[in-house]
Amino acid sequence: MSGQLSSKNKRPLSPHLQIYKPQITSVLSFLHRATGVALCFGIPFFVWWIAAAASGSCAYDFFIKLCASPIGIFCLFGWTVCFYYYLANGIRHLLWDAGALLEIKNVYISGYLVLFFTALLTVGSWGFIFF
Amino acid sequence: MKLKWEAHGFKTPLARARGLGSLRSGLKEWVRLRVAAIASTILAFWFVWFVLQSVGMSHLEFVKYLAVPVNSIAMILFVITLFYHLVLGIREIMEDYIHSEWVKILALIFDYMFFSVSGVVCVFFVLKIAFSMGV
């Protein structure tokens, strides 16, 4: 039905996402879903990790070797960023659901705090691992 | 006495059966998603600590570490709450962006099955480790 409509009469459509200027509010909102989906792709590896540990040292050592490889580190680093972002912004969302921080000023402040903590926790975690 | 519109929610039985529009059960899902989120947020802090501690451990050390009751229990709770949140979250995204009805239904079935199986596999292996190492 929608196909018929769009082909027969060229009515104006509502503005698409691309024409809006990206703002911290919209970008962070988009990133919440994006990082959530990205983390889902880590789930099979999470399952692999637990299953490998239960299967024995051979399987576990192979998995750890995979994690320590350049591509493994690259993926794990990406998931660390996503994990901390999703965690921090998730807490922000829960506070909103509770009715707090809904004033635009607080939305901006908490948004920048989310980015700050994402960076801090990511650097902190990888610093802890390497040093 | 139940009024007609309370029983049917301004919708014909056919519309309700098709599952289109409000079924008046959305609040429950909304609350569940948040409760699972709160639980997994708390457990996420444990998870970070657990993973950072486990870096550099040998297989035996790691298995012993996971078999500590507090860690096994926290890991199982984390898996349950996380996967519950995950299934509902992915469902929401699929419902938003997949417009073909049958593709959406298949995707939702996959969502529920894949993450349910993944969750059960995780819980099973954590229990296996916990019990085989002897509490």
Phi-psi region of A97 (alpha: psi -120 to 50; beta: other; left: phi over 0): alpha
Q: Cβ of B63 and A53 within 8 Å? A: yes
CA distance A54 to B86: 24
Kindly tell me the burial class for residue B89, based on how many C-beta atoms sit within 10 Å of its own C-beta (0-12, 13-18, 19 or more).
buried
CA distance A21 to A24: 10
Q: Cβ of B115 and A37 within 8 Å? A: no
Residue with the two structure tokens 């990888």: A126
**Tens digit of pLDDT at every position of chain B (135 positions):** 566 555 656 666 776 676 666 666 778 888 888 999 999 999 999 999 999 999 999 999 999 999 999 999 999 999 999 999 999 999 999 998 998 889 999 999 999 999 999 999 999 999 999 999 865
pLDDT of residue B6: 59
pLDDT of residue B5: 54
Tell me whether A17 touches chain B (CB under 8 Å).
no
Nearest residue of chain A to residue B117 (CA atoms): A47
- Residues A113 and A29 sit within 8 Å (Cβ to Cβ): no
Question: How many CB atoms are closer than 10 A to CB B11?
Answer: 16
Q: Cβ of A94 and B37 within 8 Å? A: yes
Q: Pick the residue with more confidence: A21 or B43?
A: B43
Q: Mapping DSSP to helix (H, G, I), strand (E, B) and coil, where does residue A3 land?
A: helix
Q: Which two tokens stand for residue A82?
A: 């996503």
Phi-psi region of A56 (alpha: psi -120 to 50; beta: other; left: phi over 0): left
**What secondary structure letter does DSSP report for B135?**
-
Looking at the complex, report in whole angstroms how far the Cα of residue A47 sits from the nearest Cα belonging to chain B: 6
pLDDT of residue A127: 97
Give B92-133 as a DSSP string: HHHHHH--SHHHHHHHHHHHHHHHHHHHHHHHHHHHHHHHHS
pLDDT of residue A9: 65
pTM here is 0.85
pLDDT in tens, A26-69: 999 999 999 999 999 999 999 999 999 999 999 999 999 999 99
* Residue A54, CA distances (Å) to A46, B52, B60, B62, B71 in order: 13, 19, 10, 10, 15
Of the CATH numbers 2.60.110.10, 3.40.50.970, 3.40.50.1000, 1.20.1300.10, which one belongs to the domain with range B23-132? 1.20.1300.10
